[in-house]
């Protein structure tokens, strides 16, 4: 017969003696007395301590000697929004008040984007095409080991996807709404290589945005030249020629401007201490997890043993 009340469970589990329980009146409603569970754990404190210390030691040694140390390189860039680009172009090219209308059209690489173009940079940095082109351009294939998801899984079908997934795990970018800065980071077993690869991310992003600007400006120049040849209005030809000259200047400026699209506030730097793994943190987490698992096992074992004793003490109802 199964125990039917908290009183019978406490007696069956050995938390309290029948005489002590009988002397205390049964409460009107069922409740959980945490002191009973704490007493059961206190009686086995040596087992709990041994499990926690053993798990901490094993996790700490594994993190210290078995796991690969990864160093983190960081850099901070400040994206330049469309209004800032128009102002800088106007100042450098000697534009007038109407110049903002000329440079604010579709020729800007930030047209239609949000007030801060970081929302455009982040998907590009994490994209497959950008990452694979970066690996190929800088010859990083040898630096990125290609392995299957398990030792028995065999060779990787497409090494490009394996390297892309590895780069995606190591690279991260975060945008701060408070400062408007974009923080880029990259993990690598070699701190010097982490700084180098993060620098590739920055330079390749700038070059891609520069190529987009030059391409858009070239398309606009070809279109304006066609309009100048076809129009018969002298006044319109003059206005189109002025606009054409502006677009040519803008194209040349995009080719030579060093801090085009964004400004590097903090160059890539990497600490001499590994970013991962953290042996102390891993050991503490392993100890807490082992303590929780063993405590739950102790309580379940006591409840099962108490229920078994109770079934032997009460006759079965027919």
How many whole angstroms separate alpha carbon 243 and alpha carbon 247?
Answer: 6
**Same domain as 262, residue 206:** yes
**Same domain as 135, residue 202:** yes
Beta strands in 163-276 (DSSP E): 171-175, 182-188, 262-270
Predicted pLDDT of residue 183: 94
Is 260 part of any domain?
yes
Is 204 part of any domain?
yes
CATH code of residue 260: 3.30.1890
Is 1 part of any domain?
no
Total domains in the chain come to 2
DSSP 299: H
- Identify the H or E element spanning 53: helix 45-65
**Same domain as 127, residue 238:** yes
Query: Tokens for 252?
Result: 């040349």
**Same domain as 145, residue 89:** yes
Q: How far apart are the first and last CA of the chain?
A: 11
Is 208 part of any domain?
yes
The string of pLDDT tens digits covering residues 174-221 is 998 888 899 999 999 999 999 999 999 999 998 888 888 777 777 777
Its domain, for residue 173, covers 71-270
Is 104 part of any domain?
yes
Q: At what angle do helices 234-256 and 82-93 cross, to 10 degrees?
A: 100
pLDDT beneath 50: ranges in the chain: 1-2, 4, 28-29, 92-93, 95-114, 153, 314, 318
**Same domain as 215, residue 138:** yes
**Same domain as 111, residue 260:** yes
**Same domain as 193, residue 162:** yes
Predicted pLDDT of residue 101: 42
Is 318 part of any domain?
no
**Same domain as 163, residue 258:** yes
**Same domain as 158, residue 99:** yes
How many whole angstroms separate alpha carbon 193 and alpha carbon 73?
Answer: 9
Is 62 part of any domain?
yes
How many whole angstroms separate alpha carbon 217 and alpha carbon 86?
Answer: 14
C-alpha 315: how far from chain center: 61
Q: Which residues contact 213 (CB under 8 A, 6 or more apart)?
A: 107, 108, 109, 250, 251, 254, 260, 261
Domain end call among 237, 254, 270: 270
Cα dihedral 250, 256, 258, 259 in deg (nearest 10): 10
**Same domain as 228, residue 86:** yes
**Same domain as 75, residue 56:** no
Is 140 part of any domain?
yes
**Same domain as 178, residue 124:** yes
Whose CA is closest to 183, among 85, 71, 72, 69?
Answer: 72
Q: Which residues contact 186 (CB under 8 A, 6 or more apart)?
A: 72, 73, 170, 171, 172, 194, 197, 198, 201, 268
């Amino acid at each position: 017969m199964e125990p039917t009340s908290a009183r019978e469970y406490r007696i069956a589990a050995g938390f309290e003696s029948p005489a002590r329980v009988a002397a205390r009146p049964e409460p009107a409603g069922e409740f959980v007395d945490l002191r009973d569970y704490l007493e059961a754990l206190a009686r086995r404190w040596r087992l709990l301590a041994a499990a926690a210390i053993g798990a901490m030691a094993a996790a700490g040694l594994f993190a210290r000697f078995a796991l690969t140390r990864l160093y983190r390189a960081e850099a901070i860039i400040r994206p330049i929004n469309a209004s800032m680009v128009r102002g800088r172009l106007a100042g450098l090219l000697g534009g007038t008040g109407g110049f903002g209308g000329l440079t604010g059209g579709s020729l800007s690489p930030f047209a239609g984007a949000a007030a801060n173009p970081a929302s455009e940079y982040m998907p590009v940095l994490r994209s497959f095409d950008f990452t694979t082109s970066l690996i190929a351009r800088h010859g990083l294939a040898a630096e990125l080991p290609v392995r299957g998801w398990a030792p028995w899984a065999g060779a990787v079908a497409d090494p490009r996807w394996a390297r892309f997934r590895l780069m995606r795990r190591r690279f991260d970018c975060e945008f701060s709404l408070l400062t408007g800065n974009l923080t880029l980071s990259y993990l690598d077993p070699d701190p010097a290589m982490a700084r180098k690869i993060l620098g590739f991310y920055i330079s390749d992003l700038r070059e891609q945005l520069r190529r987009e600007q030059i391409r858009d400006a070239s398309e606009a120049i070809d279109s304006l030249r066609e309009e100048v040849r076809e129009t018969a209005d002298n006044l319109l030809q003059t206005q189109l020629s002025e606009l054409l000259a502006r677009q040519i200047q803008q194209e040349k400026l995009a080719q030579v401007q060093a801090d085009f699209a964004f400004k590097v506030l903090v160059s890539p730097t990497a600490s001499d201490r590994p970013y991962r793994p953290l042996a102390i943190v891993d050991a503490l987490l392993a100890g807490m997890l082992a303590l929780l698992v063993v405590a739950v096992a102790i309580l379940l074992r006591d409840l099962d043993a108490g229920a078994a004793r109770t079934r032997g003490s009460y006759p079965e109802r027919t």
